[in-house]
Amino acid sequence: MKPNLINGLWETTGHGAENINPSDTSDVIGVYAQAGRAETETAISAAAEAFPAWSHSTPQQRHDILHTAGDEILARTEELATLLAREEGKILKEARGEVTRAGHIFLFFAGEALRQRGELRDSVRAGVQVEVTREPVGVVGIITPWNFPIAIPAWKIAPALCHGNTVVFKPAELVPGCAWALVDILHRAGVPPGVLNLVMGPGAVVGQSMLDDARVDAITFTGSQATGTRVAQASLPHMRRVQLEMGGKNPLVVLDDADLDTAVECALDGAFFSTGQRCTASSRLIVTRGIHDRFVSALADRMARLKVGPALEEATQIGPVVDSTQLAQDLDYIAIARNQGGVLRAGGDALQLQTNGYFLQPSLITDTHPDMRINREEVFGPVASVIAVESYEEALAVANATDFGLSGGICTTSLKYASDFKRKAEVGMVMVNLPTAGVDYHVPFGGRKSSSFGPREQGSYAAEFFTVVKTAYTRP
């Protein structure tokens, strides 16, 4: 059984949970210890006790640990990618990319540990000097989802440690393997006892214990809108800072003047790669009438050539969805869309392959309107809908007519429309002639409306969440 890490020690609880391969449910990847409330509270105590010393550790110490971890992640890319593909279902090519990104994130924040930023200003009062500096927040609770089992933990843990915080980390129950491997790497890289604690277990127990404990100074969460709302509500009595990433219903606008091949590839990648299990996926394809029929036909043809199969097979282009619950949800939304008048143009069937897994044909639903549930609610699978519109102005209005606001894209050869969309799209990230999914690690990530709450993640902007600003006045 793989144990939790609490106060620098690997602790095995009395019971564990199996980690199952969604490509082949007979493949048990391992058994991982399940923390309860007592173990979580012990981890929080350890993090609180370790904070004073770690918050005053040298930038060089933090740099060396993060750099060592980043180097090992990259050196073990193939091994970690295979683990990721087995436990989450991401195909090997995508898994390798995610592991590489995690390694690069740690190397970036190793550099950030040495890039100390502050301000020295003259006061408006003669003879007084003003310093503006940043200090760590304290104990940070980190709660991550299953769809990026190493990259999202990396982009939360790395800046937390970089800026001198201590961490209590709860990964998603479906993907403990990558989380355990990442924590093991950091532990061996020299993270002091109590600075990084791993507590695997159910959100109703481990996550709730973190929310209930006033010693947790900040929580960064990625997951569903409903859970994110509960995290915010539970944190308010403690005046705890929160950072929430809660999904999207991302539009890809395709205009009449778009290059057809570019638009099709953007839609194919954004909607269906990573089995559509990305918060930045292009789930709404908003297409003007002049190109609509050609676009839909070309996209359906490309979808028909995609190979669905086990994640570890190199020829596979679309892996399984993550579990039976997600497969049932995807199929339910397809049925709801058809019952509301949508036309299933491509895919839509669960597949029985040689291995017992959760395979679903990528699905394209046409003849939809903006008020249908398929266009209002996040499906989180390889399912995309098409909305036909008359003009760019209507496309922009439909794109913005959602409670979500994470990512938005446009395919066009018009500088006028591209520039207008970049300015007026009500999202945190805009893509022009690119898939809505796929972002860099050194620039801010996040959205607007119900997609995100709190400061941005990644890059130098991560300091906004993981540090507090202090202003000091001195009369020499």
| Residues labelled as active-site residues | 245, 279
**Spatial CB neighbours of 124, under 8 Å, sequence gap ≥ 6:** none
Using alpha carbons only, what angle is made at residue 451 by residues 325 and 199, rounded to the nearest 5 degrees? 60
The residue to which tokens 């990104």 are assigned? 101
The phi, psi pair for 196, rounded to 5°, reads -130, 120
Q: How far apart are CA 279 and CA 248, in angstroms?
A: 5
DSSP code per residue over 126-154: TT-EEEEEEEE-SEEEEE--SSSTTHHHH
- How far apart, in Å, do the first and last CA atoms of the chain sit? 60
Pairing type for strands 282-288 and 218-222 reads unpaired
Q: Where are any strands of DSSP class E within 40-195?
A: 119-122, 129-136, 139-143, 166-170
Q: Which helix (H) or strand (E) holds 9?
A: strand 9-11
Residue 110 in contact with residue 162, Cβ under 8 Å?
Answer: yes
Residue 20 in contact with residue 13, Cβ under 8 Å?
Answer: no
The residue to which tokens 């549930």 are assigned? 373
Q: Where are any strands of DSSP class E within 146-294?
A: 166-170, 196-198, 218-222, 241-245, 250-254, 282-288
- Alpha-carbon torsion angle 7, 12, 14, 17, nearest 10: 110
Residue 226 in contact with residue 384, Cβ under 8 Å?
Answer: no
Q: How far apart are CA 304 and CA 27, in angstroms?
A: 29
For residue 348, give the nearest of 338, 357, 356 by alpha carbon.
338
Helix 59-75 vs helix 176-189: angle between axes, to the nearest 10 degrees?
A: 130
Q: How far apart are CA 280 and CA 272, in angstroms?
A: 11
Query: Helix-strand-coil percent breakdown of the chain, rounded to 5?
Result: 40, 25, 35
Q: How far apart are CA 92 and CA 78, in angstroms?
A: 9
